[in-house]
Amino acid sequence: MHSIIKIASALLFGLVIAVMWLSNYDRYAVEIQSQQETLYGSLVLPKQSADKPVPVVIFVHGDGPISSGSYGYYNPLWQALAEAGVASLSWDKQGVGGSSGHWLGQNMTQRAEELSAAIDWVSKQPNLDSQRIGVIGFSQAGWVLPSVLAQDKRLKYAVMVSTAVNWEQQGHFQTVQRLKSLGQEGQLLAQNLDYNEALDALLKQRVPYKTYQQFITQSAPQSYGGKVMSRSRYEFVINNMQVDASAMLEQVKQPVLALFGDSDQVVDIHQSIDTYQSKLSGPFSYKVYEEADHGLFKNEHFAGIRKDSIWFGVKMNWLGADGLTEQFVADVLSWVTTHAQLNAQGALVDGE
């Protein structure tokens, strides 16, 4: 055998060992049935085989076509949770990866039904502890989690990351931030915000897509910027823009931890915090991380990088937990491990 082949074989053997060493959790493909659709998901289990069922955290995605691992974003959390003996469950959004249907055809009620289907699925798994199910939701999940938390007491706690309360207010806030980031102020900003208000009013009337396109073509000021939505996105928006989580929050009795970044340009974190504080019925804690964005990524690493770019994905996966704001993973882990020890009655289980 040629020496090049021998060296390559040795290197191959070393890399196989490296894969096993780097794989500090087990990840299995699962299928969850939700209404007419099949959701293709990932169940992440701790490496050490537990003789008792393990607690589980269900991950609920934010906006966009997101796969079960959120392109690697969840990896630091999965890793930390698995090391602490906690399982994670997530799924490809409808129409992404192996899941049927299409996420743009869903409203927030349907997404909440998906979460309920996932809880049902967890309850039937012998290796998962149905008495210790928690949920972590990101951004748009702020309109998904409250209704399920209010109605399903199998969920014992929640972590809400950069979540919003009212769709319209969130949209307005995001537009203001975008226009300000373009350097707009005074008269110009006011003019563009007037246009945005008119656009929102049009969307609320659920006008046909062509009317929306015509309105954009005829009325959009050049300085407004922004993209014209595709037909599917337009329908998704008009089907969801009335959503407001505040009424449901009053019925949420489980402990909730809300985490935000102070540089969030998407969600008005002060409005979310104020609403959660005033409306949630159960224990509520929150934390605002400095120099962190909507995804709780450190500004020093990710400021100015488009979130949908390949470079963002490469950097996020390369940095892993180091790309996320300090303490985020530790705070989630601490909250989960503390609350996962609650039994069905909400009492701490000794020795767990």
Partner 1 sequence: MENNFTTWLDKQREELLWDLLFSSVLEVLAIFAVMLLITPYFETLNPFWYGFFLILIPLYIFSEAASALAKLKTATQKQLNDFSHIDISAVSETPITQQWQCVTIKTAILTLLPAVGGAALYYFSAKSVGVMLVIALCVGLAVFVVSALLFERYAKSLVAGTLRQARSAQPLNESQTVDLLITFHLLPWLVFAVLAFGLLMSKYYMGYVADSGQISLSSLATYSYISCTFVGFWSCYNVLEPIQTDMKLQPLFLSDTDKFSYSELFGMILGAGFIPWFALFVLGFFVPSLTSGIWLTVIAVSIIIFAVAVGVSAAALFAYSQSQQQGQGESCAP
Q: Which residues pair with 40 in a beta bridge?
A: 31
User: If you count them, how many residues does the chain have?
Assistant: 352
Of 282 and 313, CB closest to partner 1 = 313
CB of 60 to partner 1, least distance (A): 16
Out of 37, 59, 67, 342, the only residue in the binding site for partner 1 (CB under 8 A) is 67
Residues 316-335 that bind partner 1 (CB under 8 A): 317-318, 320
Q: Which of 58, 61, 68, 280 binds partner 1 (CB under 8 A)?
A: 68
Q: Are 137 and 157 in contact (CB under 8 A)?
A: no
Whose Cβ is closer to partner 1: residue 37's or residue 268's? 37
Residue 5 contacts partner 1 per CB under 8 A: yes
- Interface with partner 1 includes 180 (CB under 8 A)? no
Stretch that binds partner 1, among 65-73, 132-140, 155-163, 193-201 (CB under 8 A): 65-73
User: Minimum Å distance from CB 91 to partner 1?
Assistant: 9
Give CA torsion, residues 37, 40, 46, 52, to 10 deg: 30
The one-letter amino acid code at 239 reads N
CB of 26 to partner 1, least distance (A): 8
Residue 69 in the binding site for partner 1 (CB under 8 A): yes
Residues that bind partner 1 (CB under 8 A): 1-2, 4-5, 8-9, 11-12, 15-16, 18-20, 22-29, 40-42, 65, 67-69, 71-72, 75, 78-79, 92, 95-98, 102-105, 230-233, 310, 313-314, 317-318, 320
